[in-house]
Every structure is written in structure tokens, then in C-alpha cells.
Chain A
Amino acid sequence: MSVRVSTADFDVSEEMNRLTAGNTEIGGVALFAGKVRGDVNGEALTSMTLEHYPGMTEAELERIEGEAQRRFELSTSLIIHRVGELKPGDNIVLVITCAPHRKHAFAAAEFLMDYLKMYAPFWKKETFASGATRWVDARESDDEAAAAWAAYSE
């Protein structure tokens, strides 16, 4: 169980190997990696800058991880979220969930991403080839996904 907020990139395979090393209870590992898309509704993106709220970000990610631990049979998990200026194709976020059985690993990974998008204090600002900048708007569908989990009893 750990969270990390960093400007540095991550290596998915290295992170998975470190997380699972020596833990033979684990039967399944689910991974989600989020990346920067190169265009937004047909407009070419040159960079995406991620701002966050140091202190609260870590506290929220740990709270969300604890909630996943209560809801699912997890052996361990990891959340990495990058901040600072990122380019198209760069990694943004990594969630790894490890469980004795795959269903809990899959479900917990989806749960962690839905809750992270709803509660973790990160904000994305897009910079376009035209020079224009725009703060990304929160999508209602993200709130709906988190609300669906709130109603889901496992």
C-alpha cells in the first residue's frame, strides 16, 4: 500500500516487480496507466501541466487506497501520479492492484481510478499549438462513476 506524487516518470514493469516481490499470496495483478493524449477535440496539444495540493494530495490518495482495501480483497496496491509539465505520450498516472484473485484486482483498479478522478486534488492545464491555454473542466461522468461506487456494496 503506497502512494507517490512525483515529477519523475515511472517504469511499469519495475514498479510491478517491486510491489509483488516476495508476496506469494498474489494471484493476479491489474494495472492502469493514464497517458497524455496528443489532441483534444481535433486541437493539437503541446503540453499538459498538472498542479496539485501538496499534503492534501497524499492524504486523499491514502484515504482512497484505504477505502479500496476495505472494499476488496487486496494483497497490496500502488498509486503513482505525476505533476508538472508533461508532453503528449507521457505517462500521467499508474495504479497497480494485487489480489489473490483477478476479480478483486480488476475491480479495485477501476475503483481507485474513479475515486482518484473525483477526490484527489490535481488540476490539468492544457497548452495548445496555437499558444492558447485552458484548464480542463471536470466531467460529470467522473462524478457519476464515483457515485456509482458509493452505492455499490461489496
Chain B
Amino acid sequence: MTEKPNTEKPGAGEIVLRYFAWLRERTGVSEERLTLPPGILTVGDLLLWQSQRGHPFDQAFAKPEAIRVAINHTHAKPAASIASAREIAFFPPVTGG
């Protein structure tokens, strides 16, 4: 599958959030650009923020332990810092192969 690369760069302080598989379906969003509120420093903070964000994110993120996160195309654990993140993706555990 040829996919066009993300050429549009986020503005200052903006970050790209991406959603895959059932997270994309439940949030109704595949990609969004936004500036995160202050105080969100780690992947864990971000998952908590998503779960408190209101409909439909609160339901999609109700079980954060079932959600995996990647920062700039690399798997990241809940304790990982998001300081250098340009793109953060949320998805269920992978099921390829």
C-alpha cells in the first residue's frame, strides 16, 4: 500500500495524535493536531488525560492498560517522556502475522 507521507508539519507546540484499529473507530478520529494542556509529561499522563477528555475519548480510553502507545514511530511505555514527541499514536496490542 502506498501511503502519502505526512508533509504538513505541526505548528509551534502542536502535536499530531493518531488512532488505529478499534481506537480509531471508537473515537471517530484517525488523526488530529493539537496543543496539549500543560502538565502532561509522560505517556501515562497522556492516557489519563484522554480518559478524562469527554465523549467519545473517555470511553475509548476507559481501559488504558489495553492501549499501546508509540512516540515518533517507536513503541513507548507509560513512564516514557513525551518531551520530544512530534507524533503520538494510540492503538490496541498488535495482531499481525
Please give the residue numbers on chain A whose beta carbons come within 8 Å of chain B beta carbons, in ascending order. 5-7, 34, 50-56, 59-60, 81, 83-84, 92-93, 113, 116-125, 135-138, 142
New contact pairs (14) apart from A6-B1, A123-B20, CB-CB < 8 Å: A34-B97, A56-B70, A56-B89, A113-B97, A116-B96, A117-B94, A119-B94, A120-B94, A121-B94, A122-B94, A123-B21, A135-B22, A136-B95, A138-B95
- Number of A-B residue pairs, CB cutoff 8 Å, is 81
Q: Of B5, B70, B75, B96, which is within 8 A of A52 by CB?
A: B96
B residues contacting A by CB (< 8 A) are 1, 3, 5-6, 18, 20-22, 70, 73-75, 89, 91-97
5 smallest CB-CB distances across A and B, nearest first, come from A122-B96, A138-B93, A54-B3, A123-B21, A56-B73
Measured between C-beta atoms, what is the minimum distance from A56 to chain B in Å? 4
